Structure formats: C-alpha cells, structure tokens
Structure 1
Amino acid sequence: MKLGLAAGAAGLIPTALKASSPGASASHKGAKLVLLGTKGGPRVGGSRSNPANALVVDDAVYVIDMGMGVTAQFVKAGLDYKQIRGLFISHLHSDHELEFGNLVYNDWVTNSLTKPLNAYGPVGIEEMIKNYWALNKDDINTRIADEGRVDPRDLLIGHDMPFTKHVVMQDDHVRVSALPTPHKPLQNFAYRFDTPYGSVVYSGDTSFYPPLAEFAKGADVLVHEVLYVPGVDALTKRVNGGEDFRNHIINAHTTTEQVGQIAAMAGVKKLVLSHFVPGDMSWITDDMWREGVAKHYKGEIVVGRDLQEIPLS
C-alpha cells in the first residue's frame, strides 16, 4: 500500500538504497526494513541477536524493539544515529526493551542526540526512562560537566500509550498505527508503518489473533513472530521445564501454520518470519520454518536473518 506522505515519492527506486555509515550525511531516497535481531526470547547466544528492527525511510530511521545487542547491530548495519526519528517498543518483556536506554545513551555520547526524540510503547515506558536516567545519573552529570554535553534527560520523551487501536504519530515520512494483541500477561502492540513507498506491519509478540490480519490488510510486508512446536518441545526438555512452561510458550506465541493463516487472510505481498521461538537451535532449518506457513500462505516467505534488508516496493 502506497501512502502519499511526501511529494515526489512516485518513481523512486527503493532497491537502490544502501545503508549509510554512522555519522554519514549521504542522502538516500526509498524505504527498507533492516532486521537487526531475529531471535525470540531473552537468552543470549547462537547465531541470532535478540529482537530489534529498523525501518529506514529516506533519511529517517525508526527503531522497533530494542533487545540485547541492538546498539552493536545498529552500527554493523551501517545506520546513522543522527537519523533516528522515533523509537517503538511492542511490549515490556526484556528481550524487547532491555537495551532501549543504552541505545539512546550511545546516540547521546556520539553527539548525535541533539533534538527531542520520542519513544512510544505500553504504559511503563515513561517510568522506565526515569529509572534509566536515575541509574546512570553520576556518569551523565560528570560528562555534562567535564565534556560540555547537552543533558539527554531533556531530549528523550516517553509516551505511555493507551491499550487501544490508534494512530501513534505521523510525520513527513511515515504514519504509525498501533493495534493491541494478546500476549498475556503483558500488553503488546503490533505496529503498522505506512510510508510513501509502501507499508510494513510488525506483529510484536502475539498468539494467533485474526484482527491482526485485518490490521495488516494489503500491506507490502508483514513481519510476524513464529513458533516451531517441535523446537519448543526440545526447549522445554533443555531447561527442565514442565507442562506449564511449555503451555505458556505455546499459548503466548503463533505457530508456523497460524502465521500462514494470518498472512493469507491479510493478503500481504511478502511475509517475513522473525522472532523465532526457539531461535538458537541450529537443527531447525529454513524449510522447517516455512513448511507450516506454506500450507496456508502462497506468497513470498522470507526466513529472516540478522542484518537482512527488506526493501519496500
């Protein structure tokens, strides 16, 4: 779905995009999604980093979820701190927000954070920001005094969002909408980003939820979390978990077949699998992730990889 947010959008070629190096000032036109981290859950290890994504629209970057490793992945992707225009957190599980404060901190110490930056998420974001500044107050105050830096506490603005379907924000590059989805006991938001070059929907963490298909209707790209049941059985055995542990994971996420059903109902052009549960078992092949999905969805299926770029068309 194309959205005329900016004049002259027609005719631009998003596939020509190349990420800029940190601090670079080169100008690009187009849009792409960068998968910074594709492994579900808080465990660190394996070949995948924890959940994080970046949507690049022209010279603006919007970061969606900030699990452990997001700052290093952001740099590896060649993205520019100076271009960050908004931060979005789907829910308050640690694998989605644990490095939120540190990403902003590194934005600040590179002298890139010079104007207000808005962060959006469920109720608790504003308190989390206050707690982060309190945790690091000695370092921040010292650097302001010794290095002449601006005070970052005046620049990061948190927004606790109501748990309702609503338009979050809109600027010259993107309109962002949010949809509550079931991920008990926490509040999770799916996000839809409509740009002049196309639309991308990010599911966040959710169990099977048909209203998400309506929310994603006609999108160019749907990025959906995915669970592989035999992998969860192996995970349960690995951590000596019981039936309650297994059921919690199964009931809080979306199986491969269910993801295929959502994508088919939504009629999206491309489905990107991410937030793999489990995401650190090398014996689970790409074909295994695709198999259940393909029973229902006949469009393009991308088994996401860290630092993979998905252009919008």
Structure 2
Amino acid sequence: MKQITSGTEIVLLGTAGGPRLRTNRAGIASAVVVGDALYLVDFGYGACRQSKLAGLDLGHLRAGFVTHLHSDHIADLANLLLFGWYENLENVTRPVRLYGPGSRGRVAAPSADLRAQDVVCPDDPMPGFAATIGHLTQAFATDINDRMRDNGRSHPGRLLAAYDIELPASVPFDPETAAAPPMDPLTVYRDDRVEVTAVLVQHAPMSPAYAFRFDTADGSVVFSGDTGVCDNVITLATGADVLVHEVIDEQWVQRTHGAVDTPRARATIAHHTTAHTPIPDVGRVAQKAGVGTLVLNHLVPAQIDRPRWHEAGEHFTGRLIVGEDLERIPLVP
C-alpha cells in the first residue's frame, strides 16, 4: 500500500437505521477518507447532503459500496446520479466504481403467517445492484437527457460504473437456506490507497447482504452492514482497528411490538431479532474479533427516550463510540 501521510479517517455521514424520516439523524451512510481519496459505504437518505456538510468533495470519490438493497441503504443513489454533475463528479478521471449485491434470484416467501402480496415489476422483481442503477437511470432519463443537451453535462456512464459483487462458486450461498455460509473474505476492490474485502452477512430474507473491510497503510476498518450475529463478521473484523457495527435495542423491540399479537407484529419482531444485532451482542462480536474500537451505527431506533447504547461496553474491553451524524473518527487514535 502507498503510505498516506495525512492519515485516514472514518466519517459517519448518517447513523439512522430503518426506512423512516428522522429529525435528529440522517439515513445510513459512511465515508472512508484516505489522504485525498474518498470512498463511500451505503447511500441512505441525505447521504449526498451530509457529504457536503462534512466538506467531502465528490470529485475525489473513487469507489462506493452498498451492503444490501434495502431502501434505507440506497435511497440517495439517485441524488449521486443526478446531483453529482454539479458537485465535481465530472472531475473524475475515470468512472467511479460502485459495487453492490447481485440479484437474490427469486422473491422471498412471506414471513410467518403474512398474506402473500402481488409482486411489483413481475418482469424483473429482484434486480441486483447494477440493474438497479440502470433502472434509476431509465426512471430519470428525461432529466438526464435534458441536462446533457441543455447544460452540456457528461453521460452518466462516464462518471459512474456499477458492478454486482460476484460470489465464487465455492461459496454455497442460497437465499433461502444459506444466506451467510462460512466463507473467506472476498476481494472486491483494490487501488493504491485501499484494499476492500467482503463477506456475506445474515440479513435474510434480504440477501445477498455484505460487510466490507478497508485495509489501508494506516490500519483497517470494517463496516458490518445490516446483520444479525454472524461469524463471518468476526472473521472479517479479526485484527481490524475499528469495527463500525449496526445495533438494535432489543428491549425497545419488545416494548414496541410485543404487546400486540398480530401477523405484522410477529413478523416485525422476528425480523428485528434475527436480522439485526442486539446491544449486548454487538459488544461480544467486537470482543471476539479483537478490534480496538467499536463504533455503534445504524441505530434502531434512531430516536429513543431511554438510550442503552453504552451497555454494549459491558461486553467489550476496547473503546466504544456511539456514532453521531458527521462524526469524524481517525482510523488510528
């Protein structure tokens, strides 16, 4: 790796989990800044505005990574596509490489005893990441074609290139029965500043879903993405300096949904308790991985009267940070 003298830092652009509009936190998005190179992880609502508030220059963006295709992680991709022109994205010397999950392959069965709904877009009901970018471009074709002709803007294909992460045949992934089988980290991207590796994580039925690790000359950071407790995360994070991990208040889940016995409530509890990581378990994951710093991110709920986030520290002996929007964290303190 090329030595970066100015240091490497993590910027928490938005720290709220879930598809809700919040007054105190933006949607989930993070940045890794390595010298003058910028990398983004997830594009929750407000990600582009938060980048602006953080003083980050999209003209320095080299690559972006999407952990999974839930709306709260990709809502701002359209703004990157449509507003990036005017935020120095045209200054990139080659297309920014964007990576995300491929197609699940088939629509998941309804959870618990929920009634099956009609499928939207039956001709392409489960597009992967690259196809999703293609569909966004098509949806905004009127604007894009007008901007290119009226404002002289570049074709989006010169600025952004989207790729599905391809799993090797040796990984026995199955969206129904093996959403996160044990696997060795897979190299997704490499340049003179970073090497980015990934593993599958447990966020079924939304799958494939990934965690990402950035290794730099200054150290390493792992982003868990959305996941339940998952051994692959521990594998990926072992020896890392910083683990940025999602977290859910499991007591809040029971208070909010446990009093009503309906199919929707049961499905909600099942999702929250299996596809996300409770507060005590986040600390245990970080402890097993041996990381120096644990950063709590993708907070669910994002607004709460009785926050318990600090309790993750009861199971972790390193430094604990409860993430806040626009917080900057040096990779190595």
Q: Is the 8 A contact 1:33 1:56 kept in 2?
A: yes
Instruction: Tell me the number of residue pairs that the alignment of Structure 1 and Structure 2 aligns.
Output: 286
TM-score (norm 1): 0.87
Q: Does 1:250 pair with 2:250?
A: no
**Residue pairs, 1:71-220, within 5 angstroms:** 71-114=48-91, 115-123=94-102, 124-163=128-167, 165-186=185-206, 187-220=208-241
Which residue of structure 1 aligns with residue 306 of structure 2? 284
Report the CA distance between 1:146 and its aligned residue.
1.4
**Residue pairs, 1:52-67, within 5 angstroms:** 52-67=29-44
Q: CA–CA distance in 2 between the matches of 1:297 and 1:110? A: 40
Which residue of structure 2 aligns with residue 23 of structure 1? none
Report the CA distance between 1:306 and its aligned residue.
0.3
Q: CA–CA distance in 1 between the matches of 2:140 and 2:265? A: 39
Q: CA–CA distance in 1 between the matches of 2:271 and 2:89? A: 41
Q: Is the 8 A contact 2:16 2:298 kept in 1?
A: yes
| Inter-CA distance 111–80: structure 2 relative to 1 (3 Å threshold) | closer
When structure 1 is superposed on structure 2, of 178-187 and 146-155 the one drifting more is 146-155
Which residue of structure 1 aligns with residue 321 of structure 2? 302
Report the CA distance between 1:312 and its aligned residue.
1.1
Deviation above 6 Å: which 4+ runs of structure 1?
237-240
Q: CA–CA distance in 1 between the matches of 2:42 and 2:289? A: 23
Which residue of structure 1 aligns with residue 243 of structure 2? 222
Q: List runs of 5+ in structure 1 lacking aligned partners.
A: 13-28
In structure 2, give the amino acid aligned to 1:135: A
Identity of aligned residues (%): 40
Report the CA distance between 1:218 and its aligned residue.
1.1
Q: CA–CA distance in 2 between the matches of 1:231 and 1:67? A: 23
Cα shift readout 1:41-95 (whole Å, capped 9, x = no counterpart): 0101131111000110000110100011111111111111111110100000000
TM-score (norm 2): 0.82
Q: List runs of 5+ in structure 2 lacking aligned partners.
A: 103-127, 172-184
| Structural RMSD (CA) | 1.7
Q: CA–CA distance in 2 between the matches of 1:270 and 1:102? A: 32
Q: Is the 8 A contact 2:22 2:302 kept in 1?
A: no
